[in-house]
Amino acid sequence: MTERLDHFIGGEHRAPANGTWFPSTNPATLETLYEAARGDEADVRAAVDAAQRVFDSPEWSRKTPTQRGHLLRRLGDLVGEHAEELAYLESLDNGKLLREMTGQLKNLPEYLYYYAGLADKVQGAQIPTSSPEVLNFTQREPLGVVGAITPWNSPLTLTVSKLAPALAAGNTLVIKPSEYTSRTVLRLAELADEAGYPAGAINVVTGLGAEAGAALVADPRLAKISFTGSTRTGSAIASQAASRFIGCTLELGGKSPNIVFEDANVANAAMGVVAGIFAAAGQTCIAGSRVFAHRSVYDELLERVSERASTIRIGDPLDDATELGPLAFEDQLAKVRSYIEIGESEGATVRYGGQRPDVGLPGYFLQPTVLTETTNEMRICREEIFGPVAAIMPFDTEDEVLRLANDTDYGLAAGVWTSSLQRAMRMSQRLEAGTVWVNTYRAMSPMSPRQGFKQSGVGIEHGLESMQEYTRLKSIWINT
């Protein structure tokens, strides 16, 4: 009998009100891993009830900031102690490499510790007034119940990026994880319970986006929505949030340029290009999917990237030797393959890859794919593919590549490879992207704020700034 996972509401596991569950599949083996509760409005209502009750309770509202910091630190300790278990469960769920997930989740406590340290540093200011009898000061207050909706590609890290500042600032949460990766977010809620959070401070309702997700977004008691996922879903959520005048933080899609100049160390740049697009089988928001190489180094870069792509070991994500796992689910594989076909029909050439490799497992595997003869106008260069597909294009001048790089609806990240400090400065000033990496790619830290420009997002995640996203400011005047 397949294991069934219930919601986590009010500090306990709770079966879905409608009595239905849905299967979660291992994308490498196609085995059913478990069935998760298929939440709907009734479950969401119960979860928001629980979160609101805790938010209003003295048990939570009278906790000192220092006590909130201690709780978050304790949760960080527990996440650290369970990092290997969580990485294993996450790898089974979404097919990312166990090796990579273990590294990522061993680092996850740092996110919780960072915001634990900020819990008692949320402060206002004393504002000068025109009279010595009048005192004006500001204070920052928590918002209330935060609805957090997260995707499947880094389920825990992306959830913790919201949960940590939200809890540090004194909010409570209802989380709706992706339907493809329910398990580890449920485990996180259990660990929070073990850490000593009041029952109902952190609730998890699993289910489909159109059902549980939509019900959560529609709940009028939410004080804020924090969403990471596709630009399409983000746009629908933003409209609803706007109609109720509640804030939302949106971390959305990307079509990031990775630019290699003639003065770059091409061997290093090629490794950066490969990691930028093939890590996690290209299923990262920051994937460097549009590669621009100066014409004088284009052939060398293409040769190096194609050569490396051809030697990447594809296979079982649990195997330490594997370098590329499967795509996360069947529709995802179909979508990526259809984009390769669209590219070819638009005139692109598959220099390497594009095929399903035989790795001895039935899952959703696809070769890393390098496309040439592409232009920035093609759909494969304009739309997010979210797979291991790189389009490599030559350019001649800095102005030209800057125009091409910025000619996109997205603005999440950009990479620049150059040995010129002046060029590094010029490019990082002029690129329309919330994160710019020079001679590196994919670096990230809880301390470093990030924001998606254009259709890549609204609001800031990570860093000091993220605390502001989970508080509101009150100005108080006292006539003494």
The distance of closest approach from Cβ of residue 423 to ligand NAD in the complex, given in angstroms and rounded to an integer, is 27
The answer to whether 68 and 170 are in contact (CB under 8 A) is yes
The answer to whether 390 and 372 are in contact (CB under 8 A) is no
Task: Please give the size of the binding site for ligand NAD, defined by CB under 6 A.
Answer: 30
Closest CA to 204 of 16, 26, 344: 16
The distance of closest approach from Cβ of residue 349 to ligand NAD in the complex, given in angstroms and rounded to an integer, is 26
Binding segment (CB under 6 A) for ligand NAD, from list 94-102, 126-134, 207-215, 422-430: 207-215
Of 212 and 340, CB closest to ligand NAD? 212
> What's the CA angle centered on 445, arms 439 and 450, to 5 degrees?
85
Coil, strand or helix at 390: strand
Of 210 and 478, CB closest to ligand NAD? 210
The distance of closest approach from Cβ of residue 432 to ligand NAD in the complex, given in angstroms and rounded to an integer, is 15
Q: Write the burial class of residue 136 (CB in 10 Å: 0-12 exposed, 13-18 middle, 19+ buried).
A: middle
The distance of closest approach from Cβ of residue 285 to ligand NAD in the complex, given in angstroms and rounded to an integer, is 3
b/e 81-107 (16+ beta carbons within 10 angstroms → b): ebbeebbbbbbbbbbbbbbbbbebbee
Give the nearest residue (CB) to ligand NAD: 209
Which bin fits 154, alpha (ψ -120 to 50), beta or left (φ > 0)? Answer: beta
Q: Would you count residue 178 as binding ligand NAD (CB under 6 A)?
A: yes
Of 140 and 454, CB closest to ligand NAD? 454
DSSP per residue over 80-136, as a string?
HHTHHHHHHHHHHHH---HHHHHHHHHSHHHHHHHHHHHGGG----EEP-SSTTEEE
d(CA 352, CA 390): 10
Q: Write the burial class of residue 357 (CB in 10 Å: 0-12 exposed, 13-18 middle, 19+ buried).
A: middle
Q: Does the annotation mark 461 as catalytic?
A: no
- Segment 32 to 91, residues that bind ligand NAD, using CB under 6 A: none
Q: Would you count residue 210 as binding ligand NAD (CB under 6 A)?
A: yes
User: Which of 100, 251, 384, 461 is the catalytic position?
Assistant: 251
Interacting residue with ligand NAD among 37, 217, 314, 371 (CB under 6 A): 217
Of 63 and 450, CB closest to ligand NAD? 450
d(CA 329, CA 324): 15
Of 198 and 254, CB closest to ligand NAD? 254
- Segment 276 to 335, residues that bind ligand NAD, using CB under 6 A: 285
Residue 233 CB-half CA count within 13 A: 21
The distance of closest approach from Cβ of residue 385 to ligand NAD in the complex, given in angstroms and rounded to an integer, is 10
The distance of closest approach from Cβ of residue 392 to ligand NAD in the complex, given in angstroms and rounded to an integer, is 21
Q: Would you count residue 457 as binding ligand NAD (CB under 6 A)?
A: yes
- Segment 398 to 437, residues that bind ligand NAD, using CB under 6 A: 412
Binding site for ligand NAD (CB under 6 A): 149-153, 158, 176, 178-179, 209-210, 213-214, 217, 228-230, 233, 236-237, 251-254, 285, 384, 386, 412, 452, 457
Give the residue numbers annotated as catalytic, written as ranges: 251
